[in-house]
A = this chain, B = another copy of it.
Amino acid sequence: MDASVTLLLLDLVGVYFFAVSGSLLAARQRFDLVGSLLLACVAGLGGGVVRDLVLDAGPPVAFSQPLYLVPPALAVVTVYSIEASVQRFNRLLVVFDAAGLALFCVSGTLIALAAHQHPVAAVLLGVTSAVGGGILRDVIANVTPTLFDQREFYAIPAFVGAALTVVAQTAGALGGIIVVPIIALVFALRVAGRRLRWSIPLASRHVVD
C-alpha cells in the first residue's frame, strides 16, 4: 500500500475514534443530535485543523477533503446505536479517546515530517494534533480538560509516541508496519496509566492564598 494512503487511513481512523469520544461526551452532557455531531467534528477534526493551520500549507484537510466528514458522521451513528446498552460510559470514552490519541500522535508527526518540518517541530505537532482535539472538545463542552485531571496519564504517552515516530522515521524504519507497535504502546500507556493510577508530582503542595 502506498505510504500516503496508509497515512490517510491512519488519520481517518484517528478522526473516527476521537469523534466517538466527542459524541459520547455530548450524550453524557445531554446535548441533542446536532450538538453530538458538532462535538464529534470538534473532537475528531480539531487537532488536525490546528496542525494544518500551523503547517501553513493551504486550507486544513478537514475543510478541503470532504472525506474527512465521514468519520464524524459514522461516530454519531455508532453512539446512537450503542447508547442504550452502554453501562460503563466513562470507561468507553477513555478507550476511544486513547485510541484517537495513539493514532493521532503518530499520524500528526508523520504529516509534519512529510511537510519538511524539523524533528522537534514534528514531535510538537504530533503532540498538538493528539491533545488538541480533546482539549477543544472539553473546553467547548465546558468540562475541565482530561489533560488536567490528575488521575489521567495523557500527554506523556502522546509525547512518547511522537518521539518514537521521529526516531523510527529518521532510522528509515517506517515501512508502514513499525507504526503498529508504536500505536499499541501509546494506547497501552494511556489505558494502563489510568487503570494503575500512575501519578505525576503536583506542581505545588503548599499553596497558601
Contacts and interface: CB of A to CB of B under 8 A. Distances in A.
A59 interface: yes
Interface residues of A, number: 68
B117 A147 contact: no
B203 A26 contact: yes
Instruction: Say what secondary structure dominates the interface of chain A.
Output: helix
A30 B200 contact: no
Interface centre among A30, A69, A84 (most CB of B within 10 A): A30
Given A121-B63, A140-B145, A203 B56 contact: no
B148 A29 contact: yes
Given A56-B58, A148-B31, A120 B66 contact: yes
Interface in A1-45: 23, 26-36, 38-39
B203 A155 contact: no
Contacts of A31: 148, 150, 202-203
Contacts of A144: 142
Interface string A113-142: 000011011001100000100010001111
